[in-house]
Amino acid sequence: MMTPENLFYCFIGVLWGTVVGVLPGIGPLGGMVLLLPLTFKMAPTPAIVMIAGIFYGVMYGGSTTSILLNIPGEAASVVTCIDGYQMARKGRAGPALVISALGSWVGGTLSIVALMLFAPPLAQLMLKIGPGEEFALMLLAMVVISYVSSSSKLKTLAMVIFGILISTIGMDLFTGHLRFTFGYLGFADGLGFAPMAIGLFGISEIMLNAENIVSVKVIKPTLKTLLPRWSDLRASAAPIGRGSLIGLLFGFVPGVSHIVSTFVSYAVEKKISKHPEEFGTGRIEGVAGPETANNATTGTSLVPLLVLGIPAMPATAILMSALILHGINPGPQLIQDHPDIFWGLIASMYIGNVMLVILNLPLVGIFVNFLRIPYTYLAPTILLISICGVYGSNSNPVDIIIMAVFGFIGYILRKFRFDLAPLVMALVLGEKIELSFRRSLAISEGNLWIFFKSSFSKIFLTALLIIVLLQIVAWFFGFRINKQNEDS
Amino acid sequence: MLRTTERIGDVVISGVLFSIGLFSILFSCWMPRIQSAVTGPGTFPMLLGILLCVVSLALGVYTLLHRENNKEVEIGHSVAWTIPLAIIVVGVFFERLGFMPMIALFVGFFLKIISNLGWIACLLFAAAAAISAYLFFDLLIGVPLPMGAWL
């Protein structure tokens, strides 16, 4: 990890992640997929290190705009707006930024320690599971993602199935038969994850923003005003500890862990505070806890990906696609077969977190200046990077057209509040789900009992059944309450 | 600019998804069945097609039964529509015209439609963007960019 090349790409990743986090027009997913095609020419370790750097770098950068502009740079920074911006209005933007960065560093570092501790023994356990259990686990993951999505459950489920269906385009790995290619050999490898993902997130985001371009007023802190008081540091210590624990636990849950963890942390801090009525007016605890929780999910959210091969959130799905594109299969054998990737990633996260504290504190003024760039210049630049990046992956102009088509699809889906994240996760996992399904049936010679035989399968399928039943019950009671309201 | 409601949009999208599911089922029927294997290439797409049809039908029915979701949605802002169309044009002519002319035209056109800049400013920025992108992607990173069939 300590080679100049790896350190350089780690720096590029965290720098770009911070910029993406600061700029409200690009989300973390858009930021990650934009650089994804550029990693094709790189060796696996620096490529993964860079993409991962964007992932946790965004968590730092997002708080900057939340505090200075009351605009969350990314979804998990929404809660920071509540008290962070109020602190900035009172002339205390500096302490808010410092505590946010320190909390992020503590949460991020502890999450890496948790990743180091939990991943290897869990991987050993997961080596015992076969394709039947793998299929049951991925099915559970997809259902959980549908359940926790912010969009309607039916819409999310439709997106998941649609995504898996799109992943079947191309050559069938078992028989070599071409599916849904309509005679075009360029589709034999499928539609390409990079053009689809950039289209769905990047292009659709620009289309939405182009409808309403606004300029923003920026509160710019100076280096002198950054220093927090001792009372701020004392008041933040316990929230940082609690936020770390909340984030670590939520990181394991597939879905929207980093967003949910920030809301839970804020709710906890408000609940146990001696002055809950002051939350929303500029309490430092309202910034320290959520920002720590946010970053504390980053390490543990990588555990399902690296150990099970199942991304816990959309950002880790992009990381998974980066691994697959470099010929590395995430799952229980990753630590065994590619220890350099696993431990290199962990080392990069330690170093990246330190880089981020340096970038986000003394250099915060530079990042704030990015916000002064008019969107009219930013948008064509992003489009240019998208086109070049997508073309660069395969030197195929059809990929540019695919990106445009998926950009249009993403725009329409977002307009009608369909969640795109489950679609992207399904695109990544689709091939794996089909492989484990068909492998299981091949082993059992068509006997479906293979999916219910082992203890792991029974646990996963029971959990799945409980979630589905809970959802049906919730829907039924919701329907009855609506009917009663209509009748009355 | 097209104005509609979320309810209508959900019904239309569920209809489209239903059609895709149905298409998947029909297309899968045409795929060969492998005698030596339990599942053929069409098995999984057919299952997915059936699931997609069921879920999209459920979504459509649910949306039609719940009349309260009449939030207005505006789609088709002219600038928004122009972006994917322009990108498609780039894709079609990218290798024929070459990277630099195509990108310069694209960026210049895009700047003109979303900003108040004059033609000269747009062209200057477009040229600078195309040259910078060429230097960065082709020379620095090594991404092979097309020179154009006319060269």
Which tens digits make up the pLDDT trace of A153-209? 889 889 999 999 999 999 988 888 899 998 888 888 889 888 888 888 888 888 888
The verdict on residue A354 lying in a domain is yes
Q: Which residue range forms the structural domain that includes residue A82?
A: 4-132+193-395
Q: DSSP class of residue A39?
A: G
B123 part of contact set with chain A, CB < 8 Å:
no
Is B48 in contact with A418 (Cβ distance < 8 A)?
no
Alpha-carbon distance of A199 to A34, in angstroms, equals 10
Is B88 in contact with A401 (Cβ distance < 8 A)?
yes
Read off the tokens for B56: 């999209």
Give the residues across from B74 on adjacent strands: B3
Alpha-carbon distance of A338 to A317, in angstroms, equals 19
Cβ atoms within 10 Å of B24's Cβ, excluding its own: 26
Is A165 in contact with B106 (Cβ distance < 8 A)?
no
Compute the Cα dihedral for A324, A330, A335, A337 and give only its sign.
negative
Domain boundaries, chain B: 2-75, 78-141
A126 contacts A332 by C-beta, under 8 angstroms: yes
- 3-state SS string over chain B? CEEEEHHHHHHHHHHHHHHHHHHHHHHHHCCCCCCCCCCCCCHHHHHHHHHHHHHHHHHHHHHHHCCCCCCEEEECCHHHHHHHHHHHHHHHHHHHHCHHHHHHHHHHHHHHHHCCCCHHHHHHHHHHHHHHHHHHHHHHHCCCCCCCCCC
The pLDDT value given to residue B45: 94
Q: Is B117 left (phi over 0), alpha (psi -120 to 50) or beta?
A: beta
pTM: 0.80
Residue A207 exposure: Cα atoms within 13 Å on the Cβ side = 33
Which tens digits make up the pLDDT trace of B10-62? 999 999 999 999 999 999 998 887 766 678 889 999 999 999 999 999 999 99
Read off the tokens for A66: 């939340």
The verdict on residue A30 lying in a domain is yes
Which residues in chain A touch residue B9, judged by CB atoms under 8 angstroms apart? 412, 415-416
A437 contacts A457 by C-beta, under 8 angstroms: no
Between the two ends of chain A, the Cα-to-Cα distance in Å is 67
The verdict on residue A460 lying in a domain is no
The total of structural domains in chain A comes to: 1
Report the run of H or E that residue A292 belongs to, with start and end.
helix A285-300
Residues of chain A scoring pLDDT < 70:
1-2, 23-27, 71-75, 147-151, 213-226, 253-257, 364-365, 367-372, 478-488
A410 contacts A386 by C-beta, under 8 angstroms: no
Backbone φ and ψ for A331, nearest 5 degrees, come out as: 160, -170
Alpha-carbon distance of A73 to A62, in angstroms, equals 4
The verdict on residue A224 lying in a domain is yes
Distance of residue A386 Cα from the nearest chain B Cα, in angstroms: 10
Q: DSSP class of residue A476?
A: H
Is A388 in contact with B133 (Cβ distance < 8 A)?
yes
The verdict on residue A48 lying in a domain is yes
Which residues in chain A touch residue B144, judged by CB atoms under 8 angstroms apart? 392, 395
A402 contacts A195 by C-beta, under 8 angstroms: yes
The pLDDT value given to residue A24: 62
Compute the Cα dihedral for B38, B42, B44, B48 and give only its sign.
negative
Tell me the one-letter amino acid at B136: F
Is B6 in contact with A154 (Cβ distance < 8 A)?
no
Q: What angle do CA A116, A54, A286 make, to 5 degrees?
A: 80
pLDDT at B9 over 80: yes
A73 contacts A63 by C-beta, under 8 angstroms: yes
What pairing do the DSSP bridges indicate for beta strands B2-5 and B72-75? antiparallel
Tell me the one-letter amino acid at B145: L
Give the nearest partner residue to B41 out of A175, A208, A374, using CB atoms: A175
Give the nearest partner residue to A179 out of B41, B80, B115, using CB atoms: B41
* Cα separations in angstroms, A151 against A156, A261, A414: 6, 18, 10
The verdict on residue A158 lying in a domain is no
**Among residues B29, B54, B53, which one has the least CA distance to residue B41?**
B29
Mutate to test the interface with A, among B114, B124, B125, B139 (most CBs of A within 10 A): B114
Alpha-carbon distance of A138 to A145, in angstroms, equals 10
B14 part of contact set with chain A, CB < 8 Å:
yes
State the residue for tokens 């930021």. Answer: A31
